[in-house]
Amino acid sequence: MTQQESSGKSKSATVGIVSCVGNHTRVSAAIKERFSDFHVHEIDPNGKQVRLTDLGPPVEVKKTVSTTDPELLIVLSEETRNNVEELQSQIDGGNRKAKPVEINVTELDKQQRTKIHRWIGNFPSLGSSTIDRDEQKIILVEFATSKIRNARRPENRAKFTHCVLYKEGMETSDAIMFIAKKLRLQPNLITYCGTKDKRAKTTQRICISNVDSRRLIDISKITKQVKLGNFEYQNSHLSLGSLKGNHFRILLKNVQGPTPTEAPLDELICQAMDNLKQNGFINYYGLQRFGSYDVPTQEIGKALLQNKWDRVFDLLLRPKPKEPEFMTHAKKIWFAERDSVKIIKLLPNWHRSIESNLFYGLSRHYDQKDYVSAFMRIPRNVRLLYVHAFQSYLWNHLATFRVQKGLQPIVGDVVYANKKPEINTLEDLSLEIEGNIEVAPEVNIDIIDKSSLPEIKILKEEDLPNYSIFDVLIPLQGTEVNTNSILLEFYDNLLLEHGLTQDCFLNYKPRQDSPRGAYRHLIQLPTEVSYQIIHYGSSDNPDDFIPSDVDLLFKSRKHETEATKSKPDEPKDKSCAIVEFSLPSSSYATMALREILMDESKVTAQTSKRTAPDDNQETEKKIKLDETE
């Protein structure tokens, strides 16, 4: 049995998000009112949650600085040599204000002093200088900032610096740009596995090539919103999609049951969480997949598949709220005159966006109106998002249709032939589009394109006892993926409604962007599911109920949810719930919450806030970060 929600034209319904798995009673709650309500921890390929637990430098096998020169052993006492080595150790531990070491070299000649300077130069963080004091010559050994900034990578150190990025109230792309600016690097030199929510406290791995961890430590001191730690050096870099998934910790505030109801609230939450744990949820693509502007991303994808390039550009160049005034003016000229040459004269040279790339591309092919060539100026991993959004739109509708046939395998269903887990496909790697092409994560597209899709099997009657609904796959349509028979008629009619046929993916231009397609589980079963119900009073602060990694690291606040700060006689008349679960990288937490909350608007309302269309504001590039107190 499935629960069918209202078919009204809500944003969710228009993209096929309609059905639910369970028929239990749901609760109402407010979510994501504050980013402290939503915590996301990346899960690495080994299944381990990524946590920020250490802000210090990595432990390395230190290369001993040799003092085998007989003359050095004579002119430098063992105590002096030990003092210099101890100074280096203190700096390695983060104490850059450690007391300098002074070496009296008054009785030494220039050659001997030079040998001492050269020996000190072998230490990674130390510098030396000769000073005159009270008619004596002193070699001063101290921390050398410029040495760290310009240091060459030691021979025994791996090339890539991996670390944990903790951020709160920021897009992943903004955090990357902030770090890159402080390091004076191009943002695309910092790689990561996937984007994390802006309205959340999140941890994830990032990787930077040929950067000493000591340069990164200082970044954590600049702002409360970005912290870096758990440093280590590795021989390989990170790439988009090289993660197993994400673990979510979510605070549901003001939890209430439907009225009137005889069931206690705690019992309703327990039933909903047990249903999620045992029966899972429909693995819909969430609203993030379809963009946040007035023009749905899937509409641009549909126009691309229809080869209606005039419409593609009209949709892409439609004015957006809060964009720079010069861009709004440029778009008005486009719709009035179609004069791209005139437009590019109005655009600042420093401005880079999807729209500016299109205008520059059109101006180079002004006479021919070569839309395809102009479109190719957008980075490929951004171009692909539009068609992927329409693929997701089709998938959601196919999933709803299949769920209506029941939650048991039926003849004609598709499963993996060897029960292989889902692989990361190019379609699933590009989860969101927000228009920021400066820091679009790099995808090793060639490797993904050449990888083969897993072998599938069409179920027959005799196969049914060997499979469950959790094995059933719904095809994500593409050039190498076709619809199975039980979905075929519905799929054909769905395409016809949009003026398309099944060969639309084969005929797509540009050819190199043709989407291959993939297979995606119909029902997703979360793992590591748990929950906690908290009843509290007016004097309690629910924002403290989920400690972040930084809270735990600094132990700056008490987060004992079992014993809240309510006054002894204060009634605990409010309820909240902390729910936790882990999902694969291509699944959406908001879709899992639909199995708990009775009103989906509670799930999606804050999504609209999170994706406010302010990407093209140039002022947003100057990230305003709260200074560390």
Q: What pLDDT shows up at residue 609?
A: 44
Average pLDDT over the chain reads 82
Confidence of residue 446 (pLDDT cuts 50, 70, 90): very low
Q: Is 294 labeled as catalytic in the residue annotation?
A: no
Instruction: For tokens 């796959």, name the residue.
Output: 473
Torsion sign (Cα): 351, 356, 361, 365: negative
Confidence of residue 439 (pLDDT cuts 50, 70, 90): very low
Instruction: For tokens 């059905």, name the residue.
Output: 19
Taking residues 194-206, what's their average pLDDT? 91
Stretch(es) of the chain classified as CATH 3.30.2350.20: 380-521
Q: Is the pLDDT of residue 221 over 90?
A: no
Q: Is the pLDDT of residue 5 over 50?
A: no
Confidence of residue 520 (pLDDT cuts 50, 70, 90): very high
Tokens read off for 207? 């990787």
The CATH architecture annotation of domain 380-521 reads 2-Layer Sandwich (3.30)
Q: Is the pLDDT of residue 363 over 50?
A: yes
Are residues 37 and 249 in contact, defined by beta-carbon separation less than 8 angstroms? no
CA distances from 579 to 162, 353, 529, 564, 585 (A): 30, 38, 8, 18, 18
Are residues 125 and 144 in contact, defined by beta-carbon separation less than 8 angstroms? yes
How far is residue 493's CA from residue 491's CA, in Å, rounded to a whole number? 5
- Among 338-347, 368-377, 488-497, which is the least confidently predicted range? 368-377
pLDDT tens by residue, 388-416: 999 999 999 999 999 999 999 999 999 99
Q: Is the pLDDT of residue 260 over 60?
A: yes
User: How wide is the angle at C-alpha 585 spanned by C-alphas 580 and 591, nearest 5°?
Assistant: 55
Taking residues 10-20, what's their average pLDDT? 89
Taking residues 233-242, what's their average pLDDT? 83
What is the pTM assigned to this prediction?
Answer: 0.79
How far is residue 498's CA from residue 389's CA, in Å, rounded to a whole number? 14
Q: What pLDDT shows up at residue 367?
A: 66
Confidence of residue 47 (pLDDT cuts 50, 70, 90): very high
Taking residues 268-280, what's their average pLDDT? 94
- Among 20-24, 208-212, 371-375, 554-558, which is the least confidently predicted range? 554-558
pLDDT tens by residue, 124-166: 778 889 999 888 999 999 887 665 555 555 555 667 899 999 9
Which residues have a Cβ under 8 Å from the Cβ of 330 and sit 6 or more positions away?
Answer: 343, 346, 347, 355, 359
pLDDT tens by residue, 68-98: 677 777 788 888 888 988 888 888 777 878 8
Confidence of residue 620 (pLDDT cuts 50, 70, 90): very low
pLDDT tens by residue, 550-565: 999 887 544 444 444 5
Taking the CB of residue 527, how many other CB atoms lie within 10 A of it?
Answer: 14
Stretch(es) of the chain classified as CATH 3.30.1370: 70-149
Taking residues 567-590, what's their average pLDDT? 87
Instruction: For tokens 């949709």, name the residue.
Output: 315
CA distances from 201 to 36, 93, 204, 627 (A): 6, 27, 10, 17
Which of 174, 197, 471, 540 does the annotation list as catalytic? Answer: 197
Q: Is the pLDDT of residue 185 over 60?
A: yes
Taking residues 437-463, what's their average pLDDT? 64
Q: Which amino acid is at 262?
A: E
Assess if CATH 3.30.1370 describes domain 70-149.
yes
How far is residue 72's CA from residue 65's CA, in Å, rounded to a whole number? 12
Q: Is the pLDDT of residue 505 over 80?
A: yes
